[in-house]
Amino acid sequence: MQSMTLDPPNNARAERLREAIEEGPLRAFEIAERLHASRTSVLNWKKRGAINVDNLRGLADITGYRFWWLAFGEGPKKIGDEKPGGQHIIQSDNTARLSPEHAHLIDVLNQASQSGLLNETMARSLASFLQEMIKNRTLFDK
Protein backbone atom coordinates (compact mmCIF):
# COMPACT_ATOMS: atom_id res chain seq x y z
CA MET A 1 0.00 0.00 0.00
CA GLN A 2 1.33 3.40 -0.92
CA SER A 3 0.89 6.58 1.07
CA MET A 4 -0.64 9.59 -0.59
CA THR A 5 1.67 12.56 -1.10
CA LEU A 6 1.52 15.60 1.13
CA ASP A 7 -0.17 18.81 0.07
CA PRO A 8 2.40 21.62 -0.19
CA PRO A 9 3.16 24.00 1.42
CA ASN A 10 1.15 23.85 4.66
CA ASN A 11 -0.13 20.28 4.40
CA ALA A 12 -3.82 20.97 4.10
CA ARG A 13 -4.54 17.23 3.96
CA ALA A 14 -3.21 16.82 7.51
CA GLU A 15 -5.59 19.58 8.62
CA ARG A 16 -8.52 17.81 6.94
CA LEU A 17 -7.59 14.44 8.46
CA ARG A 18 -7.19 16.06 11.88
CA GLU A 19 -10.66 17.56 11.60
CA ALA A 20 -12.25 14.24 10.58
CA ILE A 21 -10.52 12.34 13.37
CA GLU A 22 -11.25 14.89 16.06
CA GLU A 23 -14.83 15.70 14.98
CA GLY A 24 -15.89 12.19 13.93
CA PRO A 25 -18.02 9.82 16.03
CA LEU A 26 -15.10 7.72 17.30
CA ARG A 27 -11.96 8.51 19.26
CA ALA A 28 -8.56 8.11 17.61
CA PHE A 29 -7.80 4.80 19.34
CA GLU A 30 -11.18 3.41 18.20
CA ILE A 31 -10.42 4.48 14.62
CA ALA A 32 -7.07 2.71 14.88
CA GLU A 33 -8.75 -0.48 16.11
CA ARG A 34 -11.42 -0.48 13.39
CA LEU A 35 -8.87 0.14 10.62
CA HIS A 36 -6.35 -2.32 12.09
CA ALA A 37 -3.79 0.48 12.32
CA SER A 38 -1.61 1.57 15.20
CA ARG A 39 -2.51 4.54 17.36
CA THR A 40 0.76 6.11 16.27
CA SER A 41 -0.34 5.83 12.63
CA VAL A 42 -3.54 7.73 13.36
CA LEU A 43 -1.56 10.45 15.14
CA ASN A 44 0.81 10.64 12.17
CA TRP A 45 -2.11 11.02 9.75
CA LYS A 46 -3.20 14.06 11.74
CA LYS A 47 0.33 15.47 11.87
CA ARG A 48 1.71 14.66 8.41
CA GLY A 49 -1.30 13.91 6.22
CA ALA A 50 0.38 10.81 4.77
CA ILE A 51 -2.16 7.97 4.68
CA ASN A 52 -2.65 5.00 2.39
CA VAL A 53 -5.73 4.89 0.21
CA ASP A 54 -7.35 1.96 2.04
CA ASN A 55 -7.08 3.72 5.39
CA LEU A 56 -8.35 6.95 3.86
CA ARG A 57 -11.43 5.15 2.52
CA GLY A 58 -11.96 3.54 5.92
CA LEU A 59 -11.57 6.87 7.70
CA ALA A 60 -14.13 8.43 5.36
CA ASP A 61 -16.60 5.61 6.06
CA ILE A 62 -16.10 5.82 9.82
CA THR A 63 -16.25 9.59 10.19
CA GLY A 64 -18.85 10.57 7.60
CA TYR A 65 -16.40 12.85 5.82
CA ARG A 66 -16.23 12.38 2.07
CA PHE A 67 -13.19 10.55 0.66
CA TRP A 68 -12.58 13.12 -2.08
CA TRP A 69 -12.71 16.03 0.36
CA LEU A 70 -10.29 14.30 2.75
CA ALA A 71 -7.88 13.45 -0.05
CA PHE A 72 -7.99 16.64 -2.12
CA GLY A 73 -10.13 19.22 -0.33
CA GLU A 74 -12.66 19.21 -3.17
CA GLY A 75 -16.40 18.65 -3.21
CA PRO A 76 -18.75 18.33 -0.25
CA LYS A 77 -16.98 17.92 3.09
CA LYS A 78 -19.39 15.54 4.78
CA ILE A 79 -22.22 13.20 4.03
CA GLY A 80 -25.31 15.38 3.77
CA ASP A 81 -23.40 18.54 2.79
CA GLU A 82 -24.49 18.33 -0.84
CA LYS A 83 -26.26 21.29 -2.32
CA PRO A 84 -30.03 20.88 -2.83
CA GLY A 85 -30.65 19.28 -6.19
CA GLY A 86 -27.12 17.88 -6.25
CA GLN A 87 -26.56 14.46 -7.64
CA HIS A 88 -26.32 11.64 -5.11
CA ILE A 89 -25.05 8.40 -6.61
CA ILE A 90 -24.13 5.24 -4.81
CA GLN A 91 -22.92 2.85 -7.47
CA SER A 92 -24.35 -0.28 -5.90
CA ASP A 93 -27.75 1.13 -5.07
CA ASN A 94 -30.21 2.80 -7.44
CA THR A 95 -32.29 3.90 -4.46
CA ALA A 96 -29.86 6.77 -3.89
CA ARG A 97 -30.82 8.20 -7.27
CA LEU A 98 -34.46 8.68 -6.27
CA SER A 99 -33.95 11.85 -4.25
CA PRO A 100 -31.44 13.67 -2.04
CA GLU A 101 -33.34 12.34 0.98
CA HIS A 102 -32.94 8.74 -0.18
CA ALA A 103 -29.23 9.28 -0.78
CA HIS A 104 -28.79 10.88 2.63
CA LEU A 105 -30.54 7.97 4.35
CA ILE A 106 -28.26 5.48 2.60
CA ASP A 107 -25.16 7.55 3.46
CA VAL A 108 -26.13 7.75 7.13
CA LEU A 109 -26.81 4.01 7.29
CA ASN A 110 -23.48 3.30 5.60
CA GLN A 111 -21.55 5.57 7.96
CA ALA A 112 -23.21 4.11 11.06
CA SER A 113 -22.61 0.57 9.82
CA GLN A 114 -18.98 1.14 8.82
CA SER A 115 -18.17 2.82 12.15
CA GLY A 116 -19.77 -0.06 14.06
CA LEU A 117 -22.31 2.23 15.69
CA LEU A 118 -25.21 0.47 13.96
CA ASN A 119 -25.04 -3.13 15.13
CA GLU A 120 -27.11 -6.06 13.83
CA THR A 121 -29.78 -5.73 16.51
CA MET A 122 -30.21 -2.02 15.84
CA ALA A 123 -30.31 -2.63 12.08
CA ARG A 124 -32.98 -5.32 12.51
CA SER A 125 -35.05 -3.00 14.73
CA LEU A 126 -34.70 -0.10 12.32
CA ALA A 127 -35.72 -2.30 9.38
CA SER A 128 -38.79 -3.53 11.32
CA PHE A 129 -39.71 0.05 12.19
CA LEU A 130 -39.46 1.11 8.54
CA GLN A 131 -41.51 -1.88 7.39
CA GLU A 132 -44.25 -1.02 9.91
CA MET A 133 -44.15 2.60 8.84
CA ILE A 134 -44.57 1.57 5.20
CA LYS A 135 -47.44 -0.79 6.10
CA ASN A 136 -49.19 2.09 7.84
CA ARG A 137 -48.23 4.69 5.27
CA THR A 138 -51.70 6.22 5.29
CA LEU A 139 -50.67 7.81 8.59
CA PHE A 140 -47.90 9.67 6.80
CA ASP A 141 -49.55 10.48 3.48
CA LYS A 142 -50.60 14.08 3.02
pLDDT band for 7, please (50, 70, 90 cuts): very low
Mean pLDDT of 87-100: 55
In contact, 55 and 49? CB cutoff 8 Å: no
3-class SS of residue 109: helix
What pLDDT, on a 0 to 100 scale, did the predictor assign at position 89? 44
Q: Which of 8-12, 25-29, 48-52, 59-63 has the lowest mean pLDDT?
A: 8-12
Domain 1-74 has CATH 1.10.260.40: yes
DSSP classification of residue 118 = S
Predicted confidence band at 91 (pLDDT cuts at 50, 70, 90)? very low
In this prediction, residue 55 carries a pLDDT of 94
Provide CATH 1.10.260.40 ranges for the chain.
Answer: 1-74
What is the end-to-end Cα distance of the chain in Å, rounded?
53
pLDDT of residue 43: 96
Please give the pLDDT value at position 38: 96
The three-class DSSP label of residue 68 is helix
Q: For residue 112, name the pLDDT band (cuts at 50, 70, 90).
A: confident
Q: What is the pLDDT of residue 8?
A: 44
Please, what sign has the CA dihedral across residues 122, 84, 71, 15?
negative
Kindly give, in sequence order, each residue whose CB lies less than 8 Å from that of residue 120, ignoring residues fewer than 6 positions away: none
